[in-house]
């Protein structure tokens, strides 16, 4: 996507041919800053500190982290050590393990001297593939939005609610949940997006709103507790969210608060779609509530907020009483029964094992 007229992906190899360029997402929306990763440790830190975030982008960064490790020491021991560090950086999004397994699988068959070049090539392939996959998700989701527009007599914009950031910043380009929105907008379908602010890290308020605004998509940021009220009053035509891990029976793990939106959507007959690439499906598990590890992050993400003051300075303030403790669960699981459909690169399916294996027959039991 373009930023001030310049086309960007979220991750790239710098002109030096080896260091990795990324967008520092902790600086958005107030500054667009790019930065470089020069070592596996820097890649691991970028993932853990959420300089990069979003399931597909975490995977791509992990892959390049292995490439950076192989550049300095391509031994078996260092391959294992780098894999072990990177896989531990964030526990919930399965794309990280998927990408690391894919690169390690290629490298394990090679002599050490061949590994660095192969790791860069495989990482680039993962990124290129992600762009194509997200574009296809956009094409399939666009049709659902278009259908809603037609059902409403082409008389008013389609109102879509989304949670967290599942746009191009969370992937390599296009996004998952936002790809259908970009494709529909580009095709001339009038749209308006309700953007959940997504406490505590505010990915909606700071990243989704920024992305949509840059692309000219009408949107309104809402406090996280607003969606149910909007749905009761017919102000939401559909929800689309992303996911960090989806099980083989269609349980969907996504940013904390997604489950509550799905409950409200079910109660109000609002379609609730989840957009995801194949790399987000964990075919090894079924019960998302019992089997997906939920990341717990620092209390300070809840107790302290950061923003821009009227004089333009970026500052942080504590918003809870001194001494009060905070809990910070990063994700929750929406059971498949609350999901209207999964929008994948292969098409749209029911959130069920039968629905998913009809699209991905290679994973049928």
The residues assigned a catalytic role are 244
Alpha carbon distance 337, 355 (integer Å): 12
Q: Which is nearer to ligand MRU, 170 or 189 (CB)?
A: 170
**Phi-psi label, residue 174: left if phi above 0, alpha if psi -120 to 50, beta otherwise:** left
Residue 10 binding ligand MRU, by CB under 6 A:
no
Instruction: Give yes or no for a contact between 214 and 1, defined as CB atoms under 8 angstroms apart.
Output: yes
Site string for ligand MRU, 278-317 (x = CB under 6 A): ----------------------------------------
Closer Cβ to ligand MRU, 18 or 329, answer by number: 329
Contact flag: residue 212 with ligand MRU (CB under 6 A)? no
* Binding-site string for ligand MRU from residue 213 to residue 252, where x marks contact by CB under 6 A and - marks none: -----------------------------xxx--------
Residue nearest ligand MRU, Cβ-based: 242
Give me the DSSP letters along 19-41. SEEEE-TTSTTT---EEEE-SHH
In whole angstroms, the minimum distance from the beta carbon of 209 to ligand MRU comes to 14
- E strands, the chain, in order: 2-3, 6-7, 11-13, 20-23, 34-37, 158-162, 191-196, 219-222, 238-241, 245-247, 252-255, 272-275, 281-282, 304-308, 314-318, 331-334, 341-344, 347-349
Q: Which residues share a beta bridge with 220? A: 194
Angle CA(242)–CA(356)–CA(224) in degrees, nearest 5? 20
Near ligand MRU by CB under 6 A: residue from 123, 176, 247, 303: 176
In the numeric block, which tokens belong to residue 69?
Answer: 């490790």
- Whose tokens are 């809990």? That residue is 327
Q: Is 208 in the site for ligand MRU (CB under 6 A)?
A: no
Q: Which is nearer to ligand MRU, 79 or 253 (CB)?
A: 253
Q: Which is nearer to ligand MRU, 175 or 335 (CB)?
A: 175
Q: Does 103 bind ligand MRU (CB under 6 A)?
A: no
Count of positions on this chain that bind ligand MRU (CB under 6 A): 17
Find where tokens 């830190």 sit: 45
Considering the complex, what minimum distance in angstroms separates the CB of residue 339 from ligand MRU?
14
- Residue 56 near ligand MRU by CB under 6 A: yes
Q: Cis ω on the peptide bond leading into residue 29 (within 30° of 0)? A: yes
- Give me the residues that bind ligand MRU (CB under 6 A), please: 53-56, 93, 164, 166, 170-171, 176, 203, 242-244, 254-255, 330
């Amino acid at each position: 996507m373009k930023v001030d007229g310049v086309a960007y992906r979220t991750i790239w190899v710098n002109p030096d041919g080896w260091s990795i360029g990324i967008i520092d997402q902790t600086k958005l929306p107030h500054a667009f800053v790019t930065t470089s990763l020069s070592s596996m440790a820097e890649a691991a830190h970028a993932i853990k500190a959420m300089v990069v975030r979003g399931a597909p982008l975490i995977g791509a960064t992990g892959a390049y982290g292995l490439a950076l490790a192989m550049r300095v020491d391509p031994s078996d021991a260092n391959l294992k050590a780098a894999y072990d560090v990177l896989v531990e950086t964030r526990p919930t999004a399965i794309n990280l393990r998927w990408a690391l397994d894919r690169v390690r699988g290629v490298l394990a068959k090679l002599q050490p001297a061949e590994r660095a070049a192969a790791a860069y090539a495989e990482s680039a392939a993962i990124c290129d593939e992600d762009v194509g996959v997200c574009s296809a998700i956009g094409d399939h989701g666009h049709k659902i939005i278009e259908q809603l527009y037609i059902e409403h007599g082409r008389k008013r914009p389609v109102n879509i609610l989304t949670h967290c950031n599942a746009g191009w910043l969370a992937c390599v380009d296009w996004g998952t949940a936002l790809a259908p929105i970009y494709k529909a907008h580009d095709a001339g379908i009038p749209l308006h997006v309700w953007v959940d602010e997504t406490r505590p890290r505010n990915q909606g308020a700071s990243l989704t709103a920024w992305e949509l605004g840059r692309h000219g998509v009408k949107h309104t940021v809402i406090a996280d507790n607003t969606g149910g009220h909007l749905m009761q009053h017919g102000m939401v035509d559909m929800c689309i969210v992303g996911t960090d891990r989806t099980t083989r029976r269609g349980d969907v793990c996504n940013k904390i608060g997604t489950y509550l939106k799905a409950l409200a959507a079910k109660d109000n007959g609002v379609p609730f779609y989840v957009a995801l690439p194949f790399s987000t499906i964990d075919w090894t598990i079924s019960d998302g509530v019992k089997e997906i590890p939920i990341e717990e992050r620092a209390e300070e993400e809840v107790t302290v907020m950061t923003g821009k003051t009227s004089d333009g300075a970026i500052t942080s303030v504590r918003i809870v009483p001194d001494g009060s403790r905070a809990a910070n669960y990063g994700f929750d699981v929406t059971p498949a029964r609350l999901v209207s459909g999964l929008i994948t690169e292969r098409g749209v399916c029911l959130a069920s094992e039968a629905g998913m294996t009809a699209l991905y027959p290679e994973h049928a039991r």
